[in-house]
């Protein structure tokens, strides 16, 4: 922990108390929380950034889209627009946000919408001529104005919320007691060969309630890097000198994975959800041009690709969530909630 963060500890205590009071006001009905008959599933976290929400949302889309009409509703972090918007042919990452635009480009036959006011967003979606049957709320665990039917809480294996402290000293957005609102806790970004003993140790540390289930997931990387025109296998990528460009919260797992595949790369790191300026784009191009290898390419994450594809010749490496244990049990819990919900209206 940095010296600056330690100095800010009194602010963390204050922030934690404010968040605690706010949650109690919602729990006691002093602040209004709206319930909906349509199944609403929240994917969120207690901390800021880097817990794997995007691949978890995509996992749910793949699980449910064959049988239900799905809408994903996000606030559209750092978008250049306001209010309720539905993604369409005129949308881009600047207009609706990088993650919503990624969902829109990747999945046909789902609705992707953005609205900072999730209650209004859900009502707008319900009012469509062909409304969704399920709504997935991206990063809305603290959005208590919506009383979701099902909450999935994510926490990274190497940065569990029980080991963290409140902002600004740590990265928690609310106190760890808030985890009790979740039906499922997913420990994300685990080593792929995580032992049963270690899973039990971590689950015990999280202290789930009798009504919660803890699952463990890992990152599954694609076997190719690609753009909209071509693919290159990771085996062939070993012959290239790669310039890795990332604007995500925690690029360390990607760095480790590329190194494990013996892929040589230089790395330009930018903050999460970074809006690349013309000057930064020119710098990336300049660094790339200085690479002497005849075989070279610029590589980024899928989330960054939707912001960079019109400015750079760049490819991306796709990732998916893969459950280490009891993935079928996770699926059944989600499907049972949807089937037992009180109606799609």
Please state whether the peptide bond connecting residue 168 to the residue before it is cis, i.e. omega within 30 degrees of 0: yes
pLDDT at 50 (0 to 100): 87
- What are the tens digits of pLDDT across the range 129-157? 999 999 999 999 999 999 999 999 999 99
- Own/partner contacts of 248-257, CB < 8 Å, gap of 24 or more, are 248/50, 248/272, 248/301, 248/303, 248/304, 249/48, 249/49, 249/50, 250/49, 250/50, 250/156, 251/301, 253/189, 253/219, 254/301, 254/317, 257/219, 257/221
Q: Does domain 222-318 have CATH number 3.30.70?
A: no
Q: Strand locations in the chain, DSSP E? A: 40-45, 70-74, 85-86, 111-114, 134-138, 150-156, 184-188, 213-226, 231-233, 241-246, 265-269, 296-301, 314-323
- What are the tens digits of pLDDT across the range 152-196? 999 999 999 999 999 999 999 999 999 999 999 999 999 999 999
Specify the CATH number for 3-220+322-340; select among 3.40.50.300, 3.30.1300.10, 3.50.50.60, 3.20.20.70.
3.40.50.300
- What are the tens digits of pLDDT across the range 211-230? 999 999 999 999 999 999 99
Q: Write out the residue limits of the CATH 3.40.50.300 domain(s) in the chain.
A: 3-220+322-340
Three-class SS state of 175: coil
């Amino acid at each position: 922990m940095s010296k600056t963060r330690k100095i800010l500890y009194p602010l963390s205590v204050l922030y934690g108390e404010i968040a605690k009071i706010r949650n109690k006001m919602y729990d006691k009905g002093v602040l209004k929380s709206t319930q909906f008959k349509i199944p609403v599933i929240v994917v969120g976290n207690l901390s800021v950034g880097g817990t794997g929400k995007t691949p978890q949302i995509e996992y749910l889309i793949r699980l449910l889209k064959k049988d239900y009409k799905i809408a994903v509703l996000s606030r559209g972090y750092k978008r250049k627009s306001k209010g309720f918007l539905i993604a369409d042919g005129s949308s881009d990452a600047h207009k609706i946000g990088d993650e919503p635009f990624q969902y829109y480009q990747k999945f046909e036959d789902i609705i992707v919408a953005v609205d900072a006011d999730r209650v209004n967003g859900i009502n707008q979606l319900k009012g469509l001529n062909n409304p969704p049957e399920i709504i997935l709320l991206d990063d809305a665990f603290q959005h208590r104005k919506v009383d979701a039917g099902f909450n999935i809480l994510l926490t990274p294996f190497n940065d569990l919320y029980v080991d963290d402290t409140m902002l600004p000293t740590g990265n928690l957005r609310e106190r760890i007691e808030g985890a009790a609102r979740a039906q499922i806790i997913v420990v994300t970004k685990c080593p792929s060969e995580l032992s049963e003993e270690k899973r039990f140790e971590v689950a015990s540390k999280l202290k789930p309630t009798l009504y919660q289930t803890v699952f463990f997931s890992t990152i599954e990387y694609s076997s190719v890097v690609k753009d909209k025109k071509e693919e290159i296998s990771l085996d062939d990528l070993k012959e290239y000198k790669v310039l890795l460009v990332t604007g995500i919260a925690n690029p360390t797992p990607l760095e480790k994975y590329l190194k494990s595949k013996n892929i040589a790369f230089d790395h330009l790191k930018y903050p999460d959800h970074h809006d690349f300026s013309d000057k930064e784009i020119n710098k990336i191009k300049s660094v790339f041009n200085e690479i002497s290898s005849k075989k070279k390419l610029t590589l980024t994450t899928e989330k960054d690709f939707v912001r960079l594809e019109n400015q750079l010749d760049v490819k991306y490496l796709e990732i998916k969530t893969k459950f280490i244990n009891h993935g079928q049990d996770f699926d059944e819990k989600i499907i049972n909630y949807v089937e037992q919900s009180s109606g799609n209206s």
